[in-house]
Amino acid sequence: MKDFGARIKRDFLHGLLYFMPIALTIYAVSLVLGMMRGVVRVFTVFIPSGLITARWMHFVVELGSLALLLLFILMIGTVCRSVIGMAFREGVGRMMNSIPGVKAVYGLFTQVTDVLVKNRERMFARAVIVDFPRRGAMTIGFVTGESGASLTRDGRELYKVFIPTVPNPTSGFMVMYPKDQVRMTDFSSESAIKLIMSGGIIEDFGDPAPRKGE
């Protein structure tokens, strides 16, 4: 009975880890999209009466709201890359880390996001192919670092590889592989993330990953 309870608890925590980032993202997008609809509706008063039908007016509002949402996200990304944005992000991070239950999910989300979207020229942005969960079954991972030869008895150097889950790449597994068991790829990390999040449906390897010195 104790083992059963522990298993239920473990499965619940894993489910929560998958669910929370998705739920928070959907909630945030819905909230901001609702605000954008209100902004767009204010400007619809300038459209002459009778110019378009109510059905087309609804379409204009939805399309305008989506465009404003994308612009808003772009502005956030631009601001967060500035000095002021970094200070704001640190403040938000401290606030989120002070909330029980949110700390673990937010910490994992920010760490994985940093790994996947920082400077593409750095090694940890390199998409690779490794055997997982067994030899012969291959999956895409991301090199996050190296471990020295002192870690293994035979002196082999290791790659630390983050293997994201489908369709939520904010959770996954950290597996250490000998360098000769890691297959480097020529496609970018963005293409790899698209493939992972779509469950293999979107396969866009048109843009090769930048190599050192490029």
Tell me the two tokens of residue 7.
């298993």
Which helix (H) or strand (E) covers residue 32, if one does? helix 2-43
Q: Give the mean pLDDT of 193-198.
A: 79
Least confident span in 49-63, 80-94, 188-202 = 80-94
Q: Which of 214, 135, 142 is nearest to 185 (CA)?
A: 142
Percent of the chain surpassing pLDDT 90? 8
- The full set of domains in the chain, from first to last, is 2-116 (no CATH), 120-197 (2.30.30)
pLDDT at 150: 60
pLDDT tens per residue, range 84-118 = 666 776 777 777 777 766 666 666 666 656 655 55
- Cα distance between residue 189 and residue 197, in whole Å: 12
* Distance (Å, whole) CA 147 – CA 175: 12
pLDDT of residue 6: 73
Tens digit of pLDDT for each residue in 156-177? 888 889 998 877 776 788 899 9
**pLDDT range class, residue 30, cuts 50, 70, 90:** confident
Which of 82 and 181 is assigned the larger pLDDT? Answer: 181
Global pTM reads 0.42
> Under 8 Å CB-to-CB from 189, ≥6 apart: which residues?
116, 120, 125, 126, 127, 142, 209
